[in-house]
A = this chain, B = another copy of it.
Amino acid sequence: VPTIGVFDSGFGGLTVLKALTEVFPEAGYLYFGDTARLPYGSKSAETVARYACEAAKFLERQGAELLVIACNTATALALPKIHEAVSVPVLGVVEPGAQRAHAASKSGKAVVIGTEATISSHAYREALAALGIESLEKACPLLVPLVEEGWVDHPVTEEVACIYLKEAFRDGFASADVLLLGCTHYPLLKPVLQRVVPVGVTLVDSAESVALAVLNFTISGPTRVGPGQLEGVRLPEKSSAVRANMRFFVTDSVEKFKRLGTRFLGCEIVNIEHVDLKE
């Protein structure tokens, strides 16, 4: 198992790290959270690409042998540029998420939710279309701030989610049977989201999807992940009492990362270092 570098704009990628540690409890992990410059979700493609490439190069210098771009916005806007910037293999969250959605959908229709930048890029729509899934993409910019406020199971959050999703699951997409969570903050909202989607809709979580893609990658080697390859793979039962070897690098306050990060990772965070990426 290689040393895995996980990159995110902030805290959300910790849901991906958590899923990875459940699949590979014994791997070494390097996590980079660009907390001084978050959120990426409202920024332009050029800015996101520049920040993401700096972070990817940093993780490679620190010894990452495989890079997971946990940030949906960075994957959607900058994956080809990140591939060019480093020499180690790079996996993003969009393609694995699209494959899981394809595996879960019977109607061939999915709703994708994410940040403004992820949705505007149409990266999910294109990845799903390549698998024959028709999708409606809906930006939900208030969901990240609601998670960060800690209102993960709050009536206001349910109301906001209801407003957003009612605008999505209608007309041609009333029959959509998958909700693809195109943002690493959203797994924390699963109980609320499950309550507001129509009956029978499956939630597909990008954190779990990318963990399975890494598993597939380490089995099949550095070949391109093909459609359907993940469909039979299931996450192991959650039994990881083993604390994986993890180091964390953040661009803003270490103390704040420690405090807020716990909510996403589900356990205490140690080994955090502040880094200052010169542009």
A residues at B contact (CB < 8 Å): 35-39, 42-44, 46-47, 141-142, 144-146, 148-149, 156, 159-160, 163, 251-253, 256, 276, 278-279
Contacts and interface: CB of A to CB of B under 8 A. Distances in A.
Q: Please give the count of copies of this chain that the complex contains.
A: 2
Residue in A146, A160, A251 with the greatest tally of chain B CB atoms within 10 Å: A160
Contact of A141 (B35, B46, B149): B149
A130 to B, nearest CB: 28
B145 A256 contact: no
A47 B155 CA distance: 34
Of all A-B residue pairs in the complex, the 3 with the closest CB atoms, nearest first, are A44-B253, A145-B145, A36-B47
Contacts of A160: 156
A253 B47 CA distance: 8
A46 B274 CA distance: 12
Nearest to A155: B159
A38 B40 CA distance: 10
Contact of A36 (B43, B149, B156, B276): B43
Contacts of A163: 156
Contact of A142 (B38, B46, B47, B145): B145
A146 B156 contact: no
Contact of A44 (B145, B146, B252): B252
A48 to B, nearest CB: 9
B159 A43 contact: no
Contacts of A253: 43-44, 46-47
A278 B47 CA distance: 13
Nearest to A51: B36
A195 to B, nearest CB: 17
A96 to B, nearest CB: 28
A158 B159 CA distance: 13
Nearest to A253: B44
Given A36-B43, A253-B44, A145 B141 contact: yes
A92 B36 CA distance: 23
Contact of A149 (B43, B142, B159): B142
A144 B146 CA distance: 12
A144 B142 CA distance: 10
Contact of A159 (B42, B156, B278): B156
24 contacts: A35-B43, A36-B37, A36-B43, A37-B37, A38-B42, A39-B39, A42-B148, A43-B253, A44-B252, A44-B253, A46-B253, A47-B251, A47-B252, A47-B253, A141-B145, A141-B148, A142-B145, A142-B146, A142-B149, A144-B145, A156-B156, A156-B159, A159-B159, A279-B279
